[in-house]
């Protein structure tokens, strides 16, 4: 499957009219194709990720044929990490994105091959992994120990809600969220919090499963999503229902254009998105100026 990309930049005049404010007044929300109360969704999503935590990374490999690794590499390359940065990775429980960010920073240090200043910057580097699910965080912490990461206090784990972050205003150089934002109850609150914690000049990046824009490929993708992925979940993880929800949640997520509009509504500038594999996934980005 080719990794073709399409990048679209959205100026304020080109954005379709969209206001997420109406979502705030509803006490019902979606859980896959079901309509549930907001408090129910929080619990049900928590149950899903508690159930899949131990097999989460394995299933990502199986479902995407390993392509999720390339997608995350692309996400981090767009972030352009640097020594001394303060970064927040939200819904990052198992550490996949955070590890890549630290690896990128360490690679920069090795290339620099010097000096006291570089060491000082590394001591100040902080990559925070925030996740609402303690089971996902526990998997990430174990993986970090196995990799020998975090001993210098550059990697920190925080149990927290993406809709109400515990970090101060204007404290982060970067914010990433990969395969997480479609599972929250209020997307607009997550975006508002991302904007709040970022410094001026800070970058927001979101990697999310999205909407295929190639008609013939879409038919195959729909068949694979609804017929194959839940079966794989049952065979490998012993959990068909959780993976049925994950597939349905993708279809309920806003289109690339609509989500880009929501990012702009949150205050971000230079909003753009990049489709990968015909829109199977998209990387959205915005800048706080």
**CA angle 45–77–106, rounded 5-degree value:** 100
- Residues 22, 24: Cα–Cα separation, whole Å: 5
Residue 248 backbone class (left: φ over 0; alpha: ψ -120 to 50; beta: rest): alpha
Residue 107 backbone class (left: φ over 0; alpha: ψ -120 to 50; beta: rest): alpha
What pLDDT, on the 0 to 100 scale, is given for residue 264?
A: 98
276 in helix, strand or coil?
strand
Residue 152 pLDDT level (bands cut at 50, 70, 90): confident
Phi, psi of 96 (to 5 degrees): -55, -45
Query: Is 131 annotated as a binding-site member?
Result: yes
Q: Looking at the predicted structure, is the pLDDT value of residue 20 above 50?
A: no
Q: Looking at the predicted structure, is the pLDDT value of residue 22 above 60?
A: no
Phi, psi of 114 (to 5 degrees): -170, -165
Domains within the chain, CATH numbers bracketed: 5-287 (3.40.50.150)
Query: Is 161 annotated as a binding-site member?
Result: yes
**pLDDT (tens digit per residue) in 98-115:** 999 999 998 887 777 555
What pLDDT, on the 0 to 100 scale, is given for residue 2?
A: 41
Give me the helix-helix angle, 56-64 and 134-147, nearest 10°. Answer: 80
Structure token pair of residue 96: 């996949």
- Residues 75, 67: Cα–Cα separation, whole Å: 13
Are 179 and 210 within 8 A, CB to CB? no
> For 7-11, 178-182, 220-224, 228-232, which range has the lowest pLDDT when averaged over its residues?
7-11
| pTM of the predicted protein model | 0.85
Q: Looking at the predicted structure, is the pLDDT value of residue 141 above 90?
A: yes
**pLDDT (tens digit per residue) in 56-89:** 888 999 999 999 999 999 999 999 999 999 999 9
What pLDDT, on the 0 to 100 scale, is given for residue 10?
A: 55
- Residues 2, 5: Cα–Cα separation, whole Å: 9
């Amino acid at each position: 499957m080719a990794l073709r990309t399409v990048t679209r930049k959205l100026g304020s005049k080109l954005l379709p009219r969209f206001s997420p404010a109406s979502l705030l007044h509803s006490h019902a929300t979606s859980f896959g194709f079901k309509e549930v109360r907001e408090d129910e969704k929080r619990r049900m999503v928590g149950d899903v990720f508690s159930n899949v935590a131990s097999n989460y990374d394995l299933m990502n490999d199986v479902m995407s044929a390993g392509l999720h690794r390339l997608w995350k590499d692309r996400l981090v390359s767009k972030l352009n990490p640097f020594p001394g940065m303060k970064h927040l990775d939200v819904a990052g429980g198992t550490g996949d994105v955070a590890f890549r960010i630290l690896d990128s920073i360490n690679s920069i240090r090795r290339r620099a091959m010097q000096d006291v200043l570089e060491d000082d910057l590394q001591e100040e580097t902080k990559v925070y992994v925030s996740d609402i699910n303690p089971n996902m965080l526990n998997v990430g912490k174990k993986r970090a120990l196995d990799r020998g990461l975090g001993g210098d206090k550059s990697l920190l784990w925080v149990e927290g809600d993406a809709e109400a972050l515990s970090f101060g205003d204007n404290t982060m150089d970067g914010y990433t969220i990969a395969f997480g934002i479609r599972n929250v109850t209020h997307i607009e609150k997550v975006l508002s919090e991302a904007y709040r914690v970022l410094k001026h000049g800070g970058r927001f990046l979101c990697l999310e499963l999205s909407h295929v824009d190639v008609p013939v490929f879409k038919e195959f993708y729909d068949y694979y999503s609804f017929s194959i992925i839940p079966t794989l979940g049952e065979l490998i993880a012993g959990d068909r229902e959780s993976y049925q929800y994950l597939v349905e949640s993708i279809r309920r997520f806003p289109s690339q254009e609509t989500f880009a509009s929501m990012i702009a509504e949150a205050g971000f500038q230079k909003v753009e998105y990049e489709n990968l594999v015909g829109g199977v996934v998209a990387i959205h980005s915005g800048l706080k100026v």
